[in-house]
Structure 1
Amino acid sequence: MKKMNSILQLRFSLVLAVSIATCLASSMAVAQSVCLPAPRLLTTMPMGGQVGTSFDVKITGQHLENADELSFSHPGIIAKKKLGTDGKPVANTYVVSIAKDCPSGVHEARVMTRLGVSTTRAFNVGTLAEVTQTKPNTTLETALKLDLNSICNAVMTRQKIDHYTFVAKKGQRVVVDCASKGIDSKLKPVLIIADEQGMDLLVERRGGALDFTAPETGKYVIKVHGLTYDGGPYYFYRIAVRSAAEKEIVPRLPSIQTVSAFSWPPAGLTDELIRPEVEPNNQHAQAQKITLPCDITGSFFPAADVDTFEFTAKKGDVWWVEVASERLGRPTDPSIVVQHVSVEGKKEKLTDVVELSDIPSPVKISSNGYSYDGPPYNAGSSDIIGKVEIKEDGIHRLQLRDLFGGTRNDPLNIYRLIIRKAAPDFALVGWGLHMNLRNGDRNALSKPIALRAGATMPIEVVVVRRDGFDGEIDLYMENLPQGVTAAGLKIPKGKSRGIMLVTASENAPRGLTSASFLGQATINGKTVTRPCRMASMQWPVKNAWSEVPSPRLLADVPVSVSNSELATITIAPTEDKVWEVTAGEKLTIPLTHIRRSEFSGANITLKTFGAGFERVPAFDAPLKAESSEAVLDLAKLKTPPGEYQIAFYGYAVAKYQENLEAVASAKSELERAKIEAEALSLEAEKLVLNSKTASQVEKANAEKAVKAASEKVKSAQAAVKTADKLLKAATARAKPKDIVDIIVSKPIQIRVNPAKKAK
């Protein structure tokens, strides 16, 4: 009840916040641009394909200049540039081939560009035949016919309804499913099955699938539209029409994972000991008897289902309970109550032992959806990891319910309940750091690890700790591109946050790899290594007042470096060495500034990353000077002896000039076009003079030559105008723009030596 009241209060707060935001939006100035341009892949069409097939895929996005390699997170999917009839590559179009043994599910697509690797977009692989919507089907008359057991890739038209037809026999069961948010779309679909005349028979408005049994043999209509009739290129979807047996459980179309899913499953989990819940078990008298430890699978079905389990335990026993449901992609909120059962006379007496609910976020998240008072990523979950301490011998009952399950009647709302002895462990997730800026930043941007040469990118890493583990965790990366290094600033004992710094040297060659991102700790005397998942925004949100950010997990960790543009400034220690200091003394680290841009403002205020040094007071470094120094007072910090890695970070407003190479290239092209046009004009003039003195026999041929030359001159002059327009456009794009750039120094290694004891 307490939690339900909290939920209602939260809903009220959200409604109030939205109302305030709506009122203020018109009066608020547009936020300053934050973060230098990064390549972002926004759409692929189609959004996937059938195993063992090849097909064309067209991409769109932001800052995809000079896009070349389209790659995927699974090696079973390959792409080659599509060539036109002239043998030249067709812009932003690829021929994609999916191997027969490529696993079904959601994979990642990304493209390598001038600025490095783009953000990823969900790319789906399945076993059903696929088609793509190529013509408008917004009326009953233009409905697209779909075969049973097929998938259609489509884009929603704004303020329209898409129509499809299928044929079914009387009594045949047909399941219609629509993938949208689960494949990175902005669409909130409404699904309708209608009769041949378009009269609605079955409607689904909450994102579920339609389970339909044909009342008669004949043609039926599927109608799809957005909940608010939104549409456009970012409102794409995949609709599947499948025939199913009477009691067959038809899985939903595959979906991307939310950030919370990074903490599931526990390492080493198998299905060997799993057992099903047994209904009926809603009432205490019907409790399903279990022995501990246990591993149970069940579902919150039917609506308002409460699953009750009974076990015997001894005083002093400590058990850890974990429930996965929301992390399995279900819209659920599990809650557990454990009670001790005793008998007084002929009546049972139930005494509460513990109530378990959410997995809290490891770090405070943004209260408003963008990075003003915290990251816009929530690594917590409505699932459960909690401890049960047995206070009395005897029988205990555990009741498991879904707090949102009162009106949900879906057998696919499954859960997994594990009760185990302590198995200390950890799970990691990271994302491109979102800094708390003072200029009204309302951005929640997807940030690919696309490094400019000379830059250091910070990745924020958080940990969910299992079963009492509180040790320190070292972070590291492997399989990085040439010229790229990574330095993990460890997660300290008992803390939840660390930083990974990924640095590209100034002379790093262009490159792309799929890196391994790992965390390592000592647990019960053994070295334990766990992967760190990466999270990113589905869409770049420039103003979180008007659009709610939507983050998700990635399937892998692509890392790239580009030398097309260099970092606006590189701050580094004057020497690449281990800086030594005695505990309790001061350490002065001289820093060099390699500036490649002009900046607004005289100074950058630098803070410090790194356990043991995060309380270093912020200090100013001059942006127009070539050097500065950092002074670390270990007497005030009380940093104990040991090995440390730190970095200094801040933000500054750079006068960013976009793609100066394009300006130089456009100038060269304009000069070439002018020279060619001039040469052709001179040649044409000569031909005109020749035609005037040509004999009567040669006159016709001479006039033909003049006409052909004149056409060439016109084409050349048109090329000059086009080249001039391209130069003006490139020059306009390259005009200095004020962009807030997050600046991080190169990592610095420090050794704190023990203070000498007085004799």
Structure 2
Amino acid sequence: MPSVETLTNSRRNQFIRASLLASAFAGAQQLHAHSPELKYVAPVAIQSGTKATLHFHGDRLDKAKELLFYKPGITVEGSPTIHSPKHVSFQVHLSPESSPGMHPVRLRCEDGITYQKTFHVSTYPIHQETKENNDSRDKAQLISPNTCIHGITTNEDVDYYQLPLKRGQVLSAEIAGMRLGRKFFDPHLSVLDPDGREIATSDDNPLTKQDPFISIRAPKDGTYYLAVRESSYEGSDSSHYLLTAGHFPRPAAIYPPGAISGQESSFQFINTDGSRLEKTLKPTAPALIHASENQLISPSGIPLKLSHYPFTNEQEPNNGSKESLPAQEIPHAFHGIISKTNDVDWFQFSAKKDQDISIQVLARELGSPLDARIILRDSAGKQLAANDDSNNRPDSSLNFKIPKDGTYFINIRDHLANAGPNFTYRIEVSPRKQTLKASINRSDRNDSQLRKVINIPRGSSLAYQLNVARDRHSAAVFTTAHNLPEGVKLTSLTAENGVNNIPLYFEATDTAPLSGGLYPVYVESKNPNLKQSITEDIEHIAINNQGVYCSYESDKLAIAVTEAAPFDISLATPAIPAVQNGTIDLTITATREDGFDKEITLFFPWLPPGITAPGNVKIPKGKNQAVYHLSIKGDAPVKNWQLCVSALSDTDRGKVLLSSNLVPLNVKTPYLTAKLEIAATNQGTPVSLPCKIEQLANFSGNATLTLHGLPDGFKAQPVTLNSSTTEVLIPVELAKNARIGNHSNLFCHIEVPENGHNISHNTGHGGSLRVNAPPKDKPTAKKESKKPSSKPKPLSRLEQLRQELK
């Protein structure tokens, strides 16, 4: 049985130190790793260029240290104020350049980083919905132009706001509801004229998803009304929204929708009525462009695709091949607008024989309502390929191998022949590239953040499954990190060709400072062009079978060193290999601090292909050891893998997760195989089942073969064999009521001795044992005696074995 001596020096020192502390400070509360829980952040929104207090509400937050922001422009002033374990606050300063919109944030405590939560940044002053009833036009709340209102829409509630306008004056209004990332809340917005007639309405919009916006010009002087509700009148006390209203520009699109990063270009912001605002910009990543006019800017931006590709903007008319602009060398991007019903735009490019190209449309991805359909044609106009939706997304894409040198055409239209001034698109035509993507495996269907934060207890390890996706290559990839918290090490592990997941394995020394942050971690290969940050996609609002409504993707992982855990686990190195179609047992030993005796749940964060195991195994309360049973499939790759097991348990400060040491697991081909033959007998009559043995590798000593798969009423005796055995007879006893019929689910379990242990083989599947009812008694008849043969027939090896068993 592995003991504390089998642990690494770092782990052993941790427990020695913990024991000394326990002796020196008997009765004092131990420092244990835990899971601080962040439920929400308040206020919902803060104005850029101001100072504010951010409040964090949850549980076990009393060791808060710092805030981790994903976007620039926000700084923390001073230390946190600890109001209670459930409430802490920070003084923050937002620069005038802090980007409007959703800002993700995490709270780092001494003993862990929390889930990601969000708050909003507004360019405009923020006011609250008045507490008095504003559920009718007569009671509408008066608001100043160019302000942001924080409101709540309860069940069957409609909130009214009023704003005086002059004829021709712009009224723009936009709601952030779903984009707050707090709960599923689908807002609806209407504008009523001074007579109470509805003159504009908005529910969903491709640019702002489930959130509405409206931009109109007042047809006459008077007071106009904004009505806010949940689209199905199903609001609640937690249905928060931000209504920004005023005279700012609120375009529906930008054209062209793409540009060369860092290059000055001319753009047009397109309003819903088709009017345009010209601007010269020099965009850089991340490209989310806000329209501005008269020192007022739109509350949210419009996505712009940046690349190094040269591009061509359409020139109407281009409704056919003869009207399209001259062919362009690829890579190249084409921009256009499907502005009229049944509009079709044509472009041409030149390509070489056997060139493998990619054609990608960017429309919905950039907030355009266009549901694109593309067709690829040769120089004679013959259709070569077409696509509508791709990868469950409405944006079209094609991969195509060019048959010969020449000119090729792309034509694009809306799938339902819809059109409008904001039906913009970008088409990228380029040689297909080798790509690499990686992300941490999702642990729960309904919780995209579960087991994604890398909180590593001092002196322990932590492992996750990393999913790797390759396109157009089969290169071996490995994990790397160049900047991690002090005292943290990443063990670089490799995913060979055909392996799409590997462990992401971190270790923290027992003296590592309690620190953490957001860090890039990479997968890469020997090909310098194949290096990619591991991405993390947090779904703040998602509904099963409907999709994701609000999410945030980052190329950094939350990693922290936390307080030491009150337990650790050690995985014993297997003394024997595992074989294909075999099994192996792994022993896990827990080392506990004095006073900690809670149940520990074990599970594998990652398993090699072809190896399966139960979902979890328990180390019971007060116990220190468990055995994990692994099954190896017949097609499991023959390889030496690195394996670890993870452990989850409750502590006095919440749940703690850690992992064992890495151990090698050598998967080999079987030492032998068995082939069961067919046998038949009657109820109650013993039988010997023939079995042929094929030796594949030498072994010493005697192996034991046991027949499995027999139903009740059958009993097979174990059989001994060695490395020279080629066939055996397996004695089987049958009860008088043994089930009649053909029993074909039989197989052999063979234990082959090695290093004082047994290597388990499961083989011989497909044998058959037929059981008949005993024959009825019949009168005996005299038979003529036959002269015995002068030469007895030689016995086969199986007959000899049968004789030996008598």
TM-score, with structure 2 as normaliser: 0.60
Do the aligned partners of 2:41 and 2:119 also contact (CA within 8 Å) in 1?
A: no
Tell me, in whole angstroms, the C-alpha distance in 1 between the residues paired with 2:79 and 2:590: 44
Distance 1:70 1:158 in 2: 35
Q: How many pairs align?
A: 579
Sort the Cα spacing of 1:340 and 1:37 in 2 relative to 1 into closer, same or farther, 3 A: same
Q: For the structure 1 residues 657 and 641, does the alpha-carbon distance in structure 2 shift closer, same or farther, using more than 3 Å as the test? A: closer
Instruction: Show the counterpart of 1:493.
Output: 497
1:166 matched residue in structure 2: 163
Q: Does 1:96 align with 2:100?
A: no
Aligned to 1:553: 552
- CA deviation map 1:15-70 (0-9, x unaligned): xxxxxxxxxxxxxxxxxxxxx966234343232422x2112334445665655534
1:307 partnered with 2:345? yes
- Higher relative contact order, chain-length normalized (CA < 8 Å, sep 6+): 1
Amino acid aligned to 1:182:
R
Q: Is the 8 A contact 1:428 1:533 kept in 2?
A: yes
Amino acid at match of 2:38: R
The 5 Å alignment of 1:309-324 reads 309-324=347-362
The residue that corresponds to 2:610 in the other structure is 615
Q: 1:248 aligns with which of 277, 280, 297?
A: 277
Equivalence map 1:562-581=2 (5 Å)? 562-563=562-563, 566=565, 570-574=568-572
Q: How does 1:102-501 map to 2 (within 5 A)?
A: 102-113=98-109, 116-133=112-129, 135-136=131-132, 137-185=134-182, 186-196=184-194, 198-206=196-204, 207-232=211-236, 234-241=238-245, 242-244=247-249, 246-248=275-277, 253-254=299-300, 270=307, 273-284=310-321, 286-293=323-330, 294-302=332-340, 305-330=343-368, 333-342=371-380, 350-356=381-387, 360=391, 381-383=393-395, 386-403=398-415, 406-407=417-418, 409=420, 411=422, 413-430=423-440, 432-434=442-444, 449=453, 451=455, 453=457, 459-463=464-468, 465-466=470-471, 468-482=472-486, 484-487=488-491, 489-494=493-498, 496-501=500-505
Conservation of the 8 A alpha-carbon contact between 2:175 and 2:187: yes
The 1:427/1:89 distance shift into structure 2, 3 A limit, reads closer
- Identity fraction in percent: 17
Q: Which residue of 1 aligns with 2:284?
A: none
- 8 Å CA contact 2:463–2:658 kept in 1: the answer is no
Distance 2:553 2:302 in 1: 8
User: RMSD over aligned Cα, in angstroms?
Assistant: 4.7
8 Å contact 2:571–2:644 — kept in the other structure? no
Unaligned runs of 5+ in 1: 1-35, 258-263, 343-349, 361-379, 436-441, 661-738
Contact 2:475 2:497 in 1 (8 A): yes
Are 1:298 and 1:414, in contact at CA under 8 Å, matched by a contact in 2? yes
Q: Is the 8 A contact 1:178 1:253 kept in 2?
A: no
Shift of the alpha carbon at 1:177?
A: 1.5
Q: Point out the structure with the larger helix share.
A: 1
Deviations 1:477-510 (A, max 9, x none): 4543345444465444355544424456677654
Counterparts of 1:146 and 1:304, CA distance in 2: 43
Q: Find the residue that maps to 1:182 and give its secondary structure.
A: helix
1:709-724 superposed matches below 5 A: none
**Structure with greater strand share of residues:** 2
Larger radius of gyration: 2
Deviations 1:415-443 (A, max 9, x none): 332112243233334454338xxxxxx66
Q: Residues of 1 paired with 2:632 and 2:217: CA distance?
A: 74
CA distance in 2, matches of 1:423, 1:382: 22
Query: Match of 2:378, SS?
Result: strand
Q: What does 1:49-68 correspond to in 2, within 5 Å?
A: 49-50=47-48, 52-61=49-58, 64=61, 67=64
Structure 2 residues not aligned, in runs of 5+: 1-33, 205-210, 250-270, 279-289, 292-297, 672-696, 699-806
Return the offset for 1:295: 1.5
2:15 is matched with none
d(CA) in 2 for partners of 1:280 and 1:382?
26
- Give yes or no for contact 1:616–1:637 (8 Å, CA) kept in 2: no
SS at match of 1:69: strand
Contact persistence 1:182–1:254 (CA under 8 A)? no
- 1:753 Cα deviation (Å)? 12
In the alignment, residue 478 of structure 2 is paired with which amino acid? Answer: D
Q: CA deviation at 1:151?
A: 2.8
Distance 1:408 1:234, change over 3 A: farther
Change (3 A) 1:502 1:402: farther
How far did 1:301 drift? 4.3
Give the corresponding residue for 2:540: 538
